[in-house]
A and B are shown apart, each in its own frame.
Chain A
Amino acid sequence: MSSIKPLNKFNSIFSKNIILNDDIKKLKQNAWDLFNKSGLPPSTNTTELWKYTNFSDLKKIDFDNSYKNDFLVKDNINILKNDQWNNIFIINGFFDESQSNFSNEIVVENFSNLDKLKYLSNKIGSIADDSENEFISLNSSLMQDPVIISINDQKTIKNINIVMITVDQNSNFCNFPRVFVKAKPKTNSTVVETYINLSDVESKNLTVPVVEYLLEEDSKLNHKHIQLDSGKSFLFHFDRILQKRNSNFISTSYSNAGFLSRYDIHSNLNGIDSNCNFHGLYITDKKQQQENEISITHSVPKCSSDQMFKGILAGESKAVFSGKVLVKKDAQKTKAFQKDLNFLLSKKAEVNTKPSLEIYADDVECSHGATAGNMDNSMLFYLQSRGINEDEATSMLIRGFAQEIIEEFDDENIINFLGNILNNTIKKLDIEGII
């Protein structure tokens, strides 16, 4: 068996850590010790969690987290801002006060709120478990400016727009954004969680965002996740959710892949009558890889969950869908559904879909299913016979496949924004050799 060594290259970053108080120091040290024990996962498919991930390219890079905070990306940033929303910008892992603006409906804290540090260290890491995943412990070790957002107001509040941006000056840049969102009891909110890579397309940067969500009793949170990765970058994005009694987490996601992107989301349904929905769309092209690791733990009775992902794959790209549902022994009356549908637009594209149900209770209703299909020639001919040429008909069918998920974003601004991105992405897709 090959021994797993940690990447020493992260050592220098860890030693440069800004440590502001003992609690944070302890949290970081514990996480670092865990990461040192595990290291990055091995390069080949030796573990179930990383079965389809190839780390060899990542391991070749000496990462660095230094950058000068003097970049000008305002034009790019403005399209991500919405004057009607609460905007919270996290750039290269740091909360950016000058770009952010929010009302007192929410409370936002970060490292600069020194008096709140004690409070901060009680929250960060309480839901995302450092021992669970190598990249979560790496984030905890190397995060520099965690942000806590508290939703306190029970009346309807403006959307909370969390924008995480990677914009590097060096190709080997790495950053570790960290956010904790707390939805107090009886609140109803919408969080738009956007990750965008604005670096050069040749850049091989690494971003590991970890976002923790705590949904207290009777709270509802509409989660709209947008991943706009590109080029040759690496992204390991984690959402970790803890749901209390009668809470509802409704998530819709859109993922444009980078070289290797992973969207890893887990909810623990830990209070009865809770529900979570994870619906998403992923698009891969050329030599990109998008991994979707979606998992739900039903810890208590009478909860429901629904996973529905759709993939569009072109070029020589790969996608992974791993949908897990764990129904614990006491979680009777559970309802859990999952589905993964893929549209393969090239003979060389590949999807590995791996739905799994692990059920220890006996009174449950669960189902799962997965499909992978090619372009339907009958549909194509139908549209062509109506005067629509082959290229436009092809785009129309791809857009149509995506439309169901896009519409679930249920917000005109976001639907238009993503509609444009989708159209541009489709135009560039490498779909030769299928028709």
Chain B
Amino acid sequence: MLNIKNLKAKVIENDELILKGINLSIKKGEVHAIMGPNGSGKSTLANVLAGRPDYEITEGDVEFESKKINDLPPDERSHLGIFLAFQYPSEIPGVRSFQMLKASIDAKKDYFKEKKLSVREFSKIYDQKVKDIGIDIDLTKRSLNFGFSGGEKKKNEILQLSVLEPSLAILDETDSGLDVDALREVSEGVNSMLSKDRSFIIVTHYQRILNYITPDFVHVLVDGKIVKSGNKELALDIENNGYEKIISEVSN
């Protein structure tokens, strides 16, 4: 469902090349973990896949469901089924979670020329998901992510994931800044979304989130390239020996 071929991408502002030739193939229902040291390009890859306009693809292709999406705007990628759970979700004044998600669903229905949900129909779905994820109902009445704790922000991302039901969910360092309890709750939310029709890319620096969400494949990204791929044992190896070992292996 996702095919990344020799992907190179730079930061537009300073012309710095971050992704230096990524090759990755993901099939329906697979969970892939992307690990790597700081500055290796993990988050850039996540953002480039979602279409962040701060980056420019200089070479290579991203194919999603057999369609080249290199030049699609972020909203269209979302309609097609790509979802990015942000490492740092934006605080958006005056916009509430319900309002944004209703607009998201409306836009998607528009895109596929389907009938929109009424406010009542959407409310029913929304309220149930809020309950399932375990989000304080008072939080949903506030401006999006305003005054939310780190854990609440990440849970709110998972709420959006569960409402939008994407076919590819990219979690960008969802575990960062979470205590043990919040990490468990967020992971439970993700696990409840696992399905044979939904693929996941879990971008993380640490192995610990993978104790809760079991990956089918683990890839190690160093300096903008995938240098090693394996199964979940690879993550444990990194946990025990650090990235240094892999980096020296590769350079030899």
Q: Which A residues form the contact surface with B (CB < 8 A)?
A: 376-379, 381-390, 392-393, 396-397, 399-404
- Chain A's nearest CB lies how many Å from the CB of B216? 25
Tell me whether A389 and B107 are in contact (CB under 8 A): yes
Tell me whether A396 and B103 are in contact (CB under 8 A): yes
Query: How far apart are the CA atoms of A392 and B106 in the complex, in Å?
Result: 12
Tell me whether A386 and B94 are in contact (CB under 8 A): no
Q: Which residue of B lies closest to A404 (CB)?
A: B94
Give how many B residues have a beta carbon under 8 Å from the other chain's beta carbons.
Answer: 31
Report B104-128 residues with CB < 8 Å from chain A CB.
Answer: 104-105, 107-108, 111
Tell me whether B93 and A382 are in contact (CB under 8 A): no
Query: How far apart are the CA atoms of A84 and B39 in the complex, in Å?
Result: 63
Contacts of A383 in B (CB 8 A): 92, 95, 100
Contacts of A377 in B (CB 8 A): 53-54
Q: Which residue of A lies closest to B111 (CB)?
A: A387
Contacts of A386 in B (CB 8 A): 75, 78, 100-101, 103-104, 160, 164
Contact string against A for B residues 16-55, beta-carbon threshold 8 Å, 1 for contact and 0 otherwise:
0000000000000000000000000000000000111110
Query: How far apart are the CA atoms of A392 and B78 in the complex, in Å?
Result: 15
Tell me whether A403 and B74 are in contact (CB under 8 A): no
Tell me whether B93 and A392 are in contact (CB under 8 A): no
New contact pairs (11) apart from A382-B92, A387-B104, A400-B95, CB-CB < 8 Å: A379-B90, A384-B51, A385-B51, A385-B52, A385-B74, A387-B107, A387-B164, A389-B73, A389-B107, A397-B95, A401-B94
Contacts of B111 in A (CB 8 A): 387
A376, A381, A387, A401 interface centre (most CB from chain B within 10 Å): A387
- Chain B's nearest CB lies how many Å from the CB of A393? 8
Contacts of A399 in B (CB 8 A): 94-95
Tell me whether B53 and A385 are in contact (CB under 8 A): no
Query: How far apart are the CA atoms of A428 and B58 in the complex, in Å?
Result: 36
Contacts of A403 in B (CB 8 A): 93-95
B52, B93, B94, B160 interface centre (most CB from chain A within 10 Å): B94
The 6 closest A-B pairs by CB, nearest first: A400-B94, A403-B94, A387-B78, A384-B74, A382-B90, A400-B95
- Chain B's nearest CB lies how many Å from the CB of A308? 13
Confirm or deny: B207 has a beta carbon within 8 angstroms of a beta carbon on chain A.
Answer: no
Tell me whether A390 and B93 are in contact (CB under 8 A): no
- Chain B's nearest CB lies how many Å from the CB of A121? 47
Query: How far apart are the CA atoms of A384 and B111 in the complex, in Å?
Result: 14
Contact string against A for B residues 55-92, beta-carbon threshold 8 Å, 1 for contact and 0 otherwise:
00000000000000000011101110001101001101
A377-B53, A377-B54, A400-B143 given as contacts; is B75 within 8 A of A390 (CB)?
A: yes
Partner of A378, one of B90, B143, B160, B164: B90
Contacts of A379 in B (CB 8 A): 90, 92
Tell me whether B73 and A390 are in contact (CB under 8 A): yes
Query: How far apart are the CA atoms of A404 and B101 in the complex, in Å?
Result: 20
A385, A388, A389 interface centre (most CB from chain B within 10 Å): A385
Ordered by A's residue number, 6 sampled pairs between the chains whose C-beta atoms are within 8 Å are: A377-B54, A379-B90, A382-B86, A383-B92, A384-B51, A396-B95
- Chain B's nearest CB lies how many Å from the CB of A404? 6
Tell me whether B78 and A382 are in contact (CB under 8 A): no
Contacts of B52 in A (CB 8 A): 381, 385
Query: How far apart are the CA atoms of A349 and B83 in the complex, in Å?
Result: 36
- Chain A's nearest CB lies how many Å from the CB of B108? 5
Query: How far apart are the CA atoms of A345 and B96 in the complex, in Å?
Result: 22
Tell me whether A384 and B73 are in contact (CB under 8 A): yes
Tell me whether B100 and A381 are in contact (CB under 8 A): no
Query: How far apart are the CA atoms of A393 and B78 in the complex, in Å?
Result: 14
Q: Which residue of B lies closest to A435 (CB)?
A: B53
Query: How far apart are the CA atoms of A377 and B90 in the complex, in Å?
Result: 10
- Chain A's nearest CB lies how many Å from the CB of B183? 23
Query: How far apart are the CA atoms of A403 and B143 in the complex, in Å?
Result: 10
Q: Which residue of A lies closest to B103 (CB)?
A: A388
Query: How far apart are the CA atoms of A29 and B209 in the complex, in Å?
Result: 82
Query: How far apart are the CA atoms of A399 and B92 in the complex, in Å?
Result: 11
Tell me whether A400 and B92 are in contact (CB under 8 A): yes
Query: How far apart are the CA atoms of A35 and B76 in the complex, in Å?
Result: 62
Query: How far apart are the CA atoms of A382 and B145 in the complex, in Å?
Result: 12
Query: How far apart are the CA atoms of A59 and B164 in the complex, in Å?
Result: 59
A377-B54, A381-B53, A400-B143 given as contacts; is B75 within 8 A of A389 (CB)?
A: yes
Contacts of B73 in A (CB 8 A): 384, 389-390
